[in-house]
Each structure stands twice: as C-alpha cells, then as structure tokens.
Structure 1
Amino acid sequence: MKTKFGIALLALFLAACSQVQKPVDVYMVGDSTMSNKKAEVYPETGWGQVFDQFFNEQVTVHNHAVNGRSTKSFITEGRWQVVLDSLKADDYVFIQFGHNDQKDKDSTRYTDPYGTYSQNLEKYVRESRDKAAIPILLTSIVRRKFDENGRLIDTHKEYPEAMRQVAERLDVPLIDLQRLTAGMVQEMGDEPSKEIYLWTEPTERFPAGRQDDTHLCVAGALTVAELVAVELAKFPLDLAEYIVLKE
C-alpha cells in the first residue's frame, strides 16, 4: 500500500510540475511608437513600455525599440546585433518598423517598401529563427490624420502591405496594428482620438503644449498594448498562455 501511495504522490507531483510555466523572454525591436520614454517627456509613452502589464510574472519584456529608427538604421547602428546576441531558443521577437523607413530624404533610414524594407524584415525573421527564437511582425500604428470629411488618411502607403506579404511568404505571425488602430481611431473620430495621442496642455518644458498625432500618451499606449495582447491570444503560440488581460 505504501508503495502504491508513493507512486500516486509522485504522479501528482510530476503532473503539477508539467503545468508550471517556465520563464519567457520577449524582445521588442522597433521605433518611437514602441520605445521606452524618458520621464521628462511624460506623458509620452511607447506601447512597448507598458506591454509587460499584459503578461504574468513569468514573462520578461526587453524593449530595445528606439526613437527614429528604421529597419535599416536599427541594423547599421548595431542595435539588432545586440538583440541577436541575446536571443536563445523559444524567445519571442516583436518587430515593428515602418514610420521611419518612409523618410526618403534620409539615406541612413529610408528603405523601399518592396525592396530593402522587405529584405530587412526577412533578415530579422531569418536570423531570429536561426537562434530558434520566434519572430512576430507588427505593422505600424496609424497616425491621427483626418480629411475634411472625417475620414482617416492612410499615411503609411505601401509599407504595411509589404510587411503583410513578408509575413505570408515566410509564414510569420502578423499582428496588423495598422488595420487595428485605423479601425479604432476612425471609430473614435477626430477630436476624441486626441485622447490616445500626445496632445497636452502647455507646461514649463513645453510652453506651446504638444499636438503630436504620431506618438501616444499613457492611455493610448495601454490601449495599443492591449490590442496586441488580444490579437496575440488568438495565435497557437505558447506565449498566449502567459497573457493577462485587464477586466
């Protein structure tokens, strides 16, 4: 009897151990809409800065996104290599670029959507997979720009579609933030949507206030991060099991 009881206890212990979640590392590479912000520009907040709030304590988010970077400059400045050197099997890499790849007057950042932009995205995906990490592509969040009829204007042109094609071609999970945020901002409307972007009253540091239709405030960052978490939960990825959505 003692032997059978001991075997039963061992079985229960092993079953419990199999359900314990292992620690997971999430790496984020991208631009200013995703990056961590300094205290002096508060309430400006990148959605990657608050992304960890939508996971349990087993997930560590390493936000390497930097203001003003494109797929090209993030590589040429050695920032991608830093991330790559840190990657290990089963890590996740969230990749969001596009805003600065459009800067056609800046040769250090500009990329052609179906040329170097797509090639750089493929490089991120391929090299992540070479380390047995799991890449996830994200199209850019929309800029808040309405026409005179209250319709949201698409300012990213071919870049989101180029990323969609890369995702399909390489079978990469895609979170289409461009479409998700476009639907949300259009539904909110012109004036109400200022609440999620960086529209602030005058302060000593910013005497004219800020009227920024690209970057997010705290509420906007949390909203976008939650959109990402909700979409992520739909994928058959282990990381989805670590998501904690707010009530």
Structure 2
Amino acid sequence: MKYLIILLLITTASFAQKTTVYTIGDSTMANKKDPDKNPEHGWAQVLQPFFKENIAIENKAVNGRSTKSFINEKRWDSVYKKLKKGDYVFIEFGHNDEKIEDSTRYTNPHTSYRYNLIRFVKQTREKGATPILLTSIARRNFNEKGVLVPTHGEYPLETRLVAQEYKVPFIDLEYYTELLEQSYGPEKSKQLHLHFKAGENPYYDKDKADDTHLSLKGATSIAQIVINQIRLLEDTSIEKLKKSIK
C-alpha cells in the first residue's frame, strides 16, 4: 500500500509538471482520422515528436473552423476552461474566415477577425498562459508563369498587426510556407499537398488535387518551420518552450 501511494504521488507530480501547448485553428492544423492510412495530415498533428516529454500537445484545431465558428461552437471555451499558468496557445486561423458566402464562418478581417484574435490573446493571458500568433499557411497557388499568388487577402496583415500591437510572440507562417512552396516549385510542391490519380492511393477512389491541405511530408515540413521559428523568437515568455524542443 505504501509503495502504491508513493507511485501515485510520483505519477501525479510528473503529470503536474507537464506544460500543455494548445493548438487552435482549422484543417491545416487539425488531427485527421485514420492517420496510418489517410494521406492528409495537419501540421499540429505531427508536432509532439519535436518536444521533450514535459510538453504535451493538445491539438484542438478542427476542420472547417473560422475564429467565429470556433468561438460560437464553444470550442474556445473548452480550451479556456482548461488553460493553466505556464501553458501555451498556438493560434492560426484565416482559411475559413475568408468564406464570404458562409455567414456562420465569415469574418471581416479588419473587425470581427481582428477582435476574435484579440479575445484569444487576452483570455489566454488572463490564465497566465502565453499566446503565439501565426499567419495562415500559404496555398499552393502558382500561376502559369510559376509565380506563387497569395490567397489570404488582409487576414495575415491583421494577424501581424495584432501581434505587434499586443506584443504577442509571432510566427509569420504565410511567409515561411511561401518560401517552402517556392523552394519546391510548381510541380514538386504537389508533394506537400494531396495530388493523386484515381486508384493511386487506396484512400481516394477519384482523382485528388488539393492545394490547401497537407500530405505527411507537407505537415512535417511546416511543423519543422514552426519549431525553427520558435528557436529564433526573442521573447522571455517562451523560454520554457524553447528549452523543451528536442
């Protein structure tokens, strides 16, 4: 009995020492079903192996969500209630905030989107946790001249402005994923996404040409970019996180 109590105390202490990184966003981050078979991966889905055991990744990103629907569906509330001092929240939205034909998701970048980001930042800090803002990843959108054309409008700009105004640790993921896409070029960059002929992959029975969502290669490459940028951030609030990178 005595040894059981000691073991329970050790286990509880180990658990209590863990820092949680919550990731909130859309399908470009989210966990996918059947990861052993499904070619699609979110970059936060593959983030855990980059950290030591004292960091726990809680990927709360969900396919198809904007800042608006994430809040309205109480998904942010579920994260906020669990946040504790010393935790981190990675915030990357934009892809679905752009959906102007959908009133349940669309946000004006200069008003609702901006203030939703500010809400995430302020409420994260209320709990003694640290927000990290990230711009949306770039789409593979090359024109006929081989130029990568941006698709996110004013949303990345607003993310940059909120980060600057509220002194939030910031990763310009749009920029770094643009560099990634360009380094692969118009054809090879298909490897970062989901491009399959019918029957080429058992998961797809029809042709697949998806330039937004990520293959395992693409997700892992972007997770590595995030890790590299965390290492370079000069902000005392993320020192614990930096030291926890393998």
Query: How high is the TM-score relative to the length of structure 1?
Result: 0.88
Aligned counterparts, 1:13-162, within 5 A: 22-39=17-34, 42-162=38-158
Match of 1:222 among 212, 217, 220: 220
Q: Distance in 2 between matches of 1:35 and 1:198?
A: 15
SS in 2 for 1:135: strand
Q: Distance in 2 between matches of 1:50 and 1:200?
A: 22
Q: 1:205 Cα shift?
A: 4.6
Matched AA of 1:240:
K
Matched AA of 1:193:
S
Structure number, greater radius of gyration: 1
Q: Distance in 2 between matches of 1:23 and 1:234?
A: 23
Q: Which stretches in structure 2 are left out of the alignment for 5+ residues?
A: 1-16
Identity among equivalent positions (%) equals 48
The equivalent residue for 1:240 is 242
Aligned counterparts, 1:160-179, within 5 A: 160-179=156-175
SS in 2 for 1:147: coil
Query: How high is the TM-score relative to the length of structure 2?
Result: 0.88
Q: Distance in 2 between matches of 1:178 and 1:189?
A: 16
What number of residue pairs does the alignment pair up? 223
Q: Which stretches in structure 1 are left out of the alignment for 5+ residues?
A: 1-21
Deviations along 1:75-96, one digit per CA (max 9) or x if unpaired, are 0000000000000001000000
RMSD between aligned alpha carbons? 1.2
Q: Distance in 2 between matches of 1:128 and 1:90?
A: 10
